[in-house]
Amino acid sequence: MFDGLKDKLSSFREDAAEEVEEKAAEAEAETDAEDVAADADAEPADAVAEPGAAADTDDADGSGDGDSSGPGRLKRAAAFATGKVVIEEEDLEEPLQDLELALLSSDVEMSVADRILDTVREKMIGETRAQVQTTDQLVTEALHDALLEVISVGQFDFEERIAEADKPVTVVFTGVNGVGKTTSIAKLSRWLAERGYSSVLANGDTYRAGANEQIREHAEALDRKLIAHDQGGDPAAVIYDGVEYAEANDIDVVLGDTAGRLHTSNDLMAQLEKIDRVVDPDLTLFVDEAVAGQDAVKRAQEFDDAASIDGSILTKADADSSGGAAISIAYVTGKPILFLGVGQGYEDIERFDPEDLVDSLLGEE
């Protein structure tokens, strides 16, 4: 999962560490050479400077005009004297450019890529490390913090939210057609059952022919009650009936499907607004495919603008090499990814853990 992005992040870590080490070695060599030259050219103690002669050396603060002098060089020289390496902006310029291209080519949204780069700069430039440490370790820590910052935005514990909420908890699923929304509902019903929560399915997708049959197959396979109306019925009424059934039968969670829609489908968006008004769901989850990349990110933002989602589920994560949607959606919407679909079976759903994902991307599992 996300193997292409893993490879690109690994390349950045190697290139950045190598660049810093090379610049450090060059600075050390220059310092040693200047020390030798200074010893060789030192004047006798009793030598007297000619009146009016201009000073050939830089000011004591190292702010001379020579390319090899200045605060940066002196800072590095002072660091070497105490056994440390200083990281300067020029050390990271080329590796960060490569990282930016790597992120964008992996479908990471531009503002997210910019934030990752800014965080890496903040974490590394001007930092010193003991020479006994590895630069790779410093690069990895900076990249870990940068990725975790954007991936973990808005994160909350879904199971804890279900446990603490008044029952029944109503969860509505939205998104475009064909991304695995109905299958995700079935998977989540099984996931909840494994943790001791009962659920009822409510088919608010009254728009699409065959929608009742599709979700009924899942309900029968899982032995769940299905609440459904005829095609063309009121989606809000269906989900409301699901809530009433749950209340009457002590069911913990109502899982409500809705018609697949685009944000430009005004009638379907109006249905979502009516569901919000009539049912007042506890959670609205956006479902899309991880392999959709930036398209999924844009749709998540558009659905959040239109219907105020509470979180996302990404399907087909096991088939996604790029990882752009997983990296970007939470930061762009301010709402977390909660689950990943990782296969066709009902058991193939995983709770999304930002720390685990970052560790996986950086090979720290």
Task: Say yes or no to pLDDT of 40 above 60.
Answer: no
Higher pLDDT, 295 or 42: 295
Q: Which pTM value belongs to this model?
A: 0.80
**215-243 burial string, b = 16+ CB within 10 Å, else e?**
beebbeebebebbbbeeeebbbbbbbbbb
To the nearest whole number, what is the mean pLDDT of the chain? Answer: 82
Average pLDDT over residues 302-312: 86
- Under the banding of pLDDT at 50, 70 and 90, the label for residue 285 is very high
User: CATH 1.20.120.140 occupies which residues in the chain?
Assistant: 3-37+69-151
| Delimiting residues of CATH 3.40.50.300 domain(s) in the chain | 158-352
Helix ranges restricted to H, 249-283: 266-279
Q: What is the pLDDT of residue 322?
A: 85
Contact predicate 322/9, CB 8 Å: no
Report the range out of 97-101, 123-127, 303-307 with the highest average pLDDT. 97-101
Q: pLDDT per residue over 156-197, tens digit each?
A: 999 999 999 999 999 999 988 889 999 999 999 999 999 999
Stretch among 29-43, 185-199, 203-217 having the lowest mean pLDDT: 29-43
353, pLDDT greater than 70: yes
In this predicted model, what pLDDT tens digit does every residue of 228-277 receive, in sequence order?
988 878 889 999 999 999 999 999 999 999 887 665 566 767 777 888 88
More confident residue, 243 or 74: 243
Q: What local confidence, expressed as pLDDT, does residue 68 receive?
A: 45
Which pLDDT tens digit goes with each residue over 137-163?
Answer: 888 888 899 999 999 999 999 999 999
For residue 333, is pLDDT > 70?
yes
Beta strand 169-174 with 283-289 is parallel
Q: Environment class of residue 364 by beta-carbon count within 10 Å: exposed (0-12), middle (13-18) or buried (19+)? A: exposed
% of the chain beyond a pLDDT of 90? 45
Residue 29 has pLDDT above 70, yes or no: no
pLDDT of residue 47: 46
Task: Choose between 155 and 4: higher pLDDT.
Answer: 155
The pLDDT-based confidence of 127 (bands split at 50, 70, 90) is low
Contacts of 112 by beta carbon, 8 Å cutoff, 6+ apart: 103, 150, 327, 328, 331, 332
pLDDT reading at 136 higher than 90: no
- Comparing 301 with 244, the larger pLDDT belongs to 244
Band of residue 91 on the pLDDT scale cut at 50, 70, 90: confident
Asked whether the predicted pLDDT for residue 312 surpasses 80, the reply is: yes
At the fourth CATH level, which superfamily is domain 3-37+69-151? SRP54, nucleotide-binding domain (1.20.120.140)
User: What pLDDT is attached to residue 265?
Assistant: 64
Q: Where are the alpha helices (DSSP H) in the chain?
A: 3-41, 71-81, 89-105, 110-124, 135-151, 158-164, 181-194, 211-222, 235-248, 266-279, 294-307, 324-333, 354-361
CATH architecture of the domain formed by 158-352: 3-Layer(aba) Sandwich (3.40)
